[in-house]
Structure 1
Amino acid sequence: MPRRYLFYVSQPYSFAILRPLQDAIRKRGDEVAWFVLGCSARPLQDDEVRLRTTAEVREFDPVAVFCPGDWLPYYFPGLKVKVFHGLPINKRGKDTHFRIRGWFDLYCTMAQSDTDRYRALAEEDPHFAVAKTGWPKLDAILKSRSSVPRSDDRPTVFYASTFTRDVTSAPDLVDTIRRMKDSGEWHFIVTLHPKMPEDIVEQYRSMADDNLTFIESDQDFIPYMGQADVMLCDTSSILFEFMFLDIPVVTLRTNMPGPYLIDVDSVEKVEQALRTALTKPPALMENMRAFSDQLHEFRDGQSSERVLDAVDQFLAQPPRLKHKPRNLFRKLKLRRRLAREAKQQIALDQRGG
């Protein structure tokens, strides 16, 4: 009898993370359903099953629930599996990647460094298990070289920006990107964070032409990653994802500097930095590859399979774990949040979102 798995989605980025896992599940002859709450369900495809109520989830009865976010409905049936929404980066000095909130049974890690830290946390309070599997999203990223063919031979810059006001580069780079793409020498691919102010989004969207491809925030940009020759960013963790494709990165005033990228402190220096990155300086590339290995050890595109194997192992031989923290106050807060977001989701669905 086919096994059933549930994907819990509360942020737009979850679709790209979970689809490689869906592919692996389907190859095994098993079934997948999606539960979307808190964001648009428009990215769901025609062949993807959506559940809308807790009653439907209970009837579906998944053996495991996969979640890239920080929380999920604790009362859903099935093993609660954390697959993470990003690489284990200490972003802007906030080491939130290793915060244990008490909702998950199994954490699927990416490299020995984060595995060791999670196992140390599990020894302190053994109510969850840890398995080094790799990140499902990277399976799709590694395949992106052949996903969408290049349209021309010009240098292609993939630009992405976070929305946080004190670190975003999007407002500052509008004129620079417009000038560079209008020169005809460059081709840009642009995507912006879903929470980016709409006036900024519209400035970039309006630039779309033969020299600039604009990807909406609810579109999957992974197929376009492999087209890039160089990545331009700020403090969005997406910049590290490009490194696994051996694509050098240029940043404007990043909060995550290091020898693995080229960071500049003014917009006037951006174009020259991009030209330098295109030459792939040996020291830069060596440092980039070494740092990437620290973040994610696997390059075989089989991380989703390892995640499923870890779930199989957990279900076949359940580890001896303590009960999760009772967290009565946090559970009450979560239920209130879920009820509020359920109402918002109904309105969002009615608007076609």
Structure 2
Amino acid sequence: MKVILFCQNPYAFGILEPIMQVLKQKEFDYLWFVKKPIKNKFPFKNEPLTSNMEVVKTFKSDVIFVPGNEVPYYLRGLKVQVFHGLAGEKKGHFRIRHYFDLYLTQGPYFTQRFLKLKNKYKNFDVLETGWPKLDIYGNELHKYDEEKKALLNNYNAKKIVLYAPTFSPSLTSAPYLIDEFKKLAKNKDHLILIKFHDLMAEELIVAYQQIAKENSRVIFEEERNIIKFLLMADIMVSDTSSVVYEFLLLNKPVITFKSSSKNIQWDNSLEYKNLEAKIISNLQEDVFQKERQNIVAQYHPYNDGKSALRMVETVQDYIAKNGVPEKRKLSFLRKLKIHKIFGKY
């Protein structure tokens, strides 16, 4: 089986890496497509890589795994949506753009929604596999325990607080919590890790980098893959970010500010204040522990570390039954959009 790992944004690398490892184990032929503007951020050495769409077309893939919103209709292969997050309330998460043959969903909440859309449009299939980015939860949950212990000892702190807000200007809490984090930095019990999205506004990056310069207990993290920090943190502060769900699956408390989620089962504040008091309260009492189990059951009930394997084997079975599409039928306007993004081939 020949596979394309299709990347338009840096976050795709961490999502697709577990799939790559399965492809290696099965000795399948694969190729990374990485858009030219992010090619310098590609983290894996000695991997087959191209930014040339003509090369991708010549590869004649059987499967294209895509954790983004678009994929060229003219490429050979089963076009598979594997998603870039767990936030169903985000605008566009359930929008059908007609680029995909198969949606591989993370859990029952997503599966049920996409099955309804399948029945409406009748031009794609839906199968539940779990999400590959979270395979590390099943395989290497304690991978960073020693590093966490060393950090806490080095800073003489008791707990790690992770701040991971969304970048979306209309949803992010970052402009409004600057003073709250300056106050929190004075609490010697806490080590604060700041982890921003790649698309966060530059002025906010600068503002929080300055907080880190002025406070020894604040670290502005540059590493792209957030999983390491999710595993290390004792509590997370965020807003309307899909990473909230990734953290909740670890059964640890979350505090959000003005989240727009319709399924809030954690501590959500409607005011940008009392950050320190909320952190202390949630660490001591953790009153939302039972509610978190609802999120686990509905959003991602797979803790066996085998979602990437399920994805690969699911597409194998699907192709065995349905064959490999040479291209996907699209409306004229959808084709024009693909030509604008990727070129016409």
Same fold (TM over 0.5): yes
Q: Where in structure 1 are there 5+ consecutive unaligned residues?
A: 341-353
Whether 1:87 aligns to 2:86 is yes
Q: AA paired with 2:242? A: S
Identity among equivalent positions (%) equals: 29
Counterpart Cα distance in 2 of 1:161 and 1:259: 16
Whole-angstrom distance in 1 between the partners of 2:60 and 2:329: 24
Aligned match of 1:180: 184
Partner deviation per Cα, 1:194-223 (whole Å, 9 max, x = no partner):
22221210122231575223223x621212
The one-letter code of the counterpart of 1:213 is: I
In structure 2, relative to structure 1, the CA distance for the partners of 1:73 and 1:320 (3 Å cut) is closer
Say if 2:113 is the partner of 1:107: no
Residue type of the partner of 1:184? K
Q: Write out per-residue CA displacement over residues 23-45 of structure 1, whole angstroms, 9 at most, x where no aligned residue.
A: 22212222332111264121332
Name the amino acid aligned to 1:158: L
Deviations 1:162-181 (A, max 9, x none): 12233211122222223322
One-letter amino acid of the counterpart of residue 127, structure 2: A
Please state whether the residue corresponding to 2:265 is helix, strand or coil: coil
Contact preservation (8 Å) 2:251, 2:289: yes
Amino acid at match of 1:169: S
Aligned to 1:28: 26
Asked whether 1:211 is paired with 2:217, we answer yes
Q: Quick check: 2:87–2:245 contact (8 Å CA) kept in 1? A: no
Matched, 1:166 2:170: yes
Query: Residue 5 in 1 paired to residue 10 in 2?
Result: no
Unaligned runs of 5+ in 2: none
Does structure 1 retain, via aligned residues, the 8 Å contact 2:34–2:49? yes
The one of 301, 308, 328 equivalent to 1:304 is: 308
How many angstroms does 1:142 deviate by? Answer: 4.6
| 2:246 counterpart of 1:241 | yes
- Correspondence list, 1:37-52, <5 A: 37=35, 39-41=37-39, 42-52=41-51
Closer, same or farther in 2 for the Cα pair 1:294/1:39, shift >3 Å? farther
The residue that corresponds to 1:55 in the other structure is 54
Partner of 1:118: 114
- C-alpha deviation, 1:62, in angstroms: 2.1
**Cα distance in 1, alignment partners of residues 160 and 334 from structure 2:** 47
Matched, 1:192 2:190: no
Which residue of the other structure, out of 322, 332, 337, is the alignment partner of 1:333? 337
For 1:240, the aligned partner's letter is Y
Specify the code of the residue in structure 1 equivalent to 2:100: F
Q: CA deviation at 1:337?
A: 2.4
CA offsets, 1:299-347, max 9 Å, x none?
11111111011101111111899x955311220222022249xxxxxxx
Q: Which amino acid aligns with 1:17?
A: I
The 8 Å contact of residues 134 and 305 in structure 2, kept in 1 or not, is answered as yes
2-structure distance, mates of 1:264, 1:115: 30
- How many residues of Structure 1 are paired with residues of Structure 2 in the alignment? 332
Instruction: Give the TM-score taking structure 1 as reference length.
Output: 0.86
Match of 2:227 among 222, 230, 233: 222
Q: Deviations over 1:96-116 (max 9, x none)?
A: 222221111111012223223
